[in-house]
Amino acid sequence: MKVGVFDSGIGGLTVVKSLLQHQLFEEIIYFGDTARVPYGSKDKNTIIRYGIEAVEFFKNFKLDMLIVACNTVSAYALSEMQEAANCPVIGVVEAGVLATQNALTNKNANILIIGTNATINSQAYEKGLKDLDFQNLQAKATPLFVPLVEEEIFDGAIVKESFKHYFQKLTHPDALILGCTHFPLLASSLQNYFGQETQLIHSGDAIVEYLEKTFDFQTKYTNPSLQFFASENPDALRLIAKRWLDV
Amino acid sequence: MKVGVFDSGIGGLTVVKSLLQHQLFEEIIYFGDTARVPYGSKDKNTIIRYGIEAVEFFKNFKLDMLIVACNTVSAYALSEMQEAANCPVIGVVEAGVLATQNALTNKNANILIIGTNATINSQAYEKGLKDLDFQNLQAKATPLFVPLVEEEIFDGAIVKESFKHYFQKLTHPDALILGCTHFPLLASSLQNYFGQETQLIHSGDAIVEYLEKTFDFQTKYTNPSLQFFASENPDALRLIAKRWLDV
């Protein structure tokens, strides 16, 4: 199977990492819209337009499946992209909601969703979780986390003060949904801040869990073909991919 | 005179504020490329392409002058924009360099330039300052400052820790060039951090100083016409303009 992975920038590589670890695909084609990143501060219509443009880009490749790694795009543009595409289009939000359900037995568990402004404003995670009868939800936009990760600041005083800034008035969560592909890189600091009893839900792992439940993967591909595209400076993206994915 | 002001997003409104205070123009037309902001992490070719597209946009208005409020665009795309335009195109970097010269009598003064990754990598300020015989230069990319300002976090613990993160290993500067239109909103915190003896150079004021020296403004316009355009969500930009500029 040939899969496309779309993200606004480089964050979706954390999803590719999970796909590689589970050896699900023969061919992975990644496209990051690095010339227009980030999407998280942009508005709904712009995000939908960019999502449909990404579908058009992937039509060059006759995909079997397209994964939307970006939470912001998944939250706002998934149905429009599904309509425009001629293959299944799967978003991380949907997968994250189901992964949360699998991780929690108690419907009264307190779930904290963090993401970009756009993702949090969309209330996409809340809608999905409420449909599954989770009621005890908190959502918090944490836009500083993206630039922190992009500067490779994963711990230390600024990170700690940012956590305090965003979280100190919230109820302690039983589960934390990392609603942005950048956030797994802060996972260890977040786990320290909230304590070991808080379960972290990671988009990449959630997608794999979702795919394995939904589709019938009969072969493991230990050496898949990988291609990386970007709307600007694809060489920079390829270098980062090499480093993050060890490929 | 009719002037265009171009910025990657909303930051250039700090330049418009200075223009309004000095009543130089009869008509001000602002365009923020909010659908593709920020530029500071993008590469040279992309920034040049976006700069030329902005020139094309402004051709609808028969401008007398175009001001590039964005430091990143001024640093990378000014000559290409000047070539594409049919009016003078003036950048904040050029103006900031001359304002620094006017502010400092001592050529050995230590000057610290802060800006986005792209602006700092361009070394545009250093080149200009070295041509004026300033040799004692430090430059530091401070990409976290833009999202801090966009979240309206202007002081407090995160800001202080960010200052430490970026500045604690640097020599104390006699002058600090705020090489990004967002940074004037951190001016008061920066002044506190470095102390009153450090002179802050602000793009908006620098542009006014440059214009008044270079052109002959004979009339003061107390009630100029203002128009705001954006590549996404112009209403949001207009609301912020209303609030920041009190118009």
Complex confidence, ipTM: 0.87
Kindly report the number of other CB atoms within 10 A of residue B51's CB atom: 29
Tell me the mean pLDDT in the region B226-231. Answer: 97
| pLDDT on residue B219 | 92
Does the structure show a pLDDT above 90 at A223? yes
Report chain B residues whose CB lies below 8 A from the CB of A161: 157-158, 161
Report chain B residues whose CB lies below 8 A from the CB of A45: 232
CB contact under 8 A, A158 and B153: no
B143, B146, B162 member nearest A158 (Cβ) = B162
- The mean of the pLDDT values for chain B is 96
B36, B150, B158 member nearest A36 (Cβ) = B36
Residue A5: C-alpha distances to residues A52, A181, B60 (Å): 14, 12, 39
Tell me the mean pLDDT in the region B120-129. Answer: 97
* A207 neighbors A67 (Cβ within 8 angstroms): yes
| pLDDT on residue A82 | 98
The band of B155, judged by pLDDT with boundaries at 50, 70 and 90, is very high
B46, B162, B232 member nearest A35 (Cβ) = B46
B43 vs A: CB within 8 A? yes
Report the C-alpha gap between A55 and A32 in whole angstroms. 12
Does the structure show a pLDDT above 90 at B150? no
The band of A133, judged by pLDDT with boundaries at 50, 70 and 90, is very high
CA distance B218 to chain A (A): 41
CB contact under 8 A, A144 and B151: yes
Report the C-alpha gap between A112 and A146 in whole angstroms. 18
> Angle B89-B93-B97 (CA atoms, 0-180°, nearest 5)?
120
| pLDDT on residue B51 | 98
Does the structure show a pLDDT above 90 at B194? yes
Report chain A residues whose CB lies below 8 A from the CB of B46: 35, 232-233
| pLDDT on residue A150 | 86
Assigned token pair, B133: 């015989």
The band of A159, judged by pLDDT with boundaries at 50, 70 and 90, is very high
Tell me the mean pLDDT in the region B81-95. Answer: 97
| pLDDT on residue A33 | 97
CA end-to-end distance (rounded Å), chain A: 20
Report chain A residues whose CB lies below 8 A from the CB of B144: 144, 147-148, 151, 153, 158
CB contact under 8 A, B153 and A165: yes
A212 vs B: CB within 8 A? no
CA distance A154 to chain B (A): 13
AA identity, residue A66: L
DSSP B5-54: EEESSSTTHHHHHHHHHHT--SEEEEEE-TTT---TTS-HHHHHHHHHHH
Q: Chain A neighbours among B 168-207 (CB < 8 Å)?
A: none
Report the C-alpha gap between B114 and B126 in whole angstroms. 11
* pTM of the full structure: 0.91
- Closest residue, chain B, to A45 (C-alpha): B232
Largest CA distance in chain A: 48
Q: Which residues make Cβ contacts (< 8 Å) with residue A240, sequence separation at least 6?
A: A10, A13
Tens of pLDDT, residues A63-120: 999 999 999 999 999 999 999 999 999 999 999 999 999 999 999 999 999 999 999 9
* A153 neighbors A162 (Cβ within 8 angstroms): no
Tell me the mean pLDDT in the region A163-190. Answer: 97
CA distance A131 to chain B (A): 31
For B124-172, the three-class secondary structure string (H helix, E strand, C coil) is: HHHHHHHHCCCCCEEEEECCCHHHHHHCCCCCCHHHHHHHHHHHCCCCC
Report helix, strand or coil for A219: coil
- Closest residue, chain B, to A232 (C-alpha): B46
Report the C-alpha gap between A42 and A170 in whole angstroms. 26
- Residue position matching structure tokens 């799967």: A90
Report chain A residues whose CB lies below 8 A from the CB of B41: 37, 150
Backbone dihedral angles phi then psi of residue A116, each to the nearest 5 degrees: -75, 170
Kindly report the number of other CB atoms within 10 A of residue A203's CB atom: 30
Tell me the mean pLDDT in the region B162-170. Answer: 98
* B24 neighbors B221 (Cβ within 8 angstroms): yes
| pLDDT on residue B42 | 93
Side-chain half-sphere exposure of B27, counting CA atoms within 13 A:
11
AA identity, residue A225: S
- The mean of the pLDDT values for chain A is 96
For A118-147, the three-class secondary structure string (H helix, E strand, C coil) is: HHHHHCHHHHHHHHCCCCCEEEEECCCHHH
Q: Examine the residue annotation and report whether A70 is marked as an active-site residue of this protein.
A: yes
Q: In what order do the strands lie in the sheet with B65-68?
A: B89-91, B65-68, B2-7, B27-32, B225-230
Q: Chain A neighbours among B 129-148 (CB < 8 Å)?
A: 143-144, 146-148
Identify the bridge partners of residue B2 per DSSP, sorted by sequence position.
Answer: B27
Does the structure show a pLDDT above 90 at B26? yes
Tell me the mean pLDDT in the region B211-219. Answer: 92
Q: What percent of chain B has pLDDT over 90?
A: 94
| pLDDT on residue A152 | 87
Tell me the mean pLDDT in the region B151-165. Answer: 96
CA distance A137 to chain B (A): 23
Torsion of CA A211, A216, A222, A223, to 10 degrees: -80
B158 vs A: CB within 8 A? yes
Walk me through the domains of chain B, giving residue ranges and CATH numbers: 2-91+205-245 (3.40.50.1860), 94-202 (3.40.50.1860)
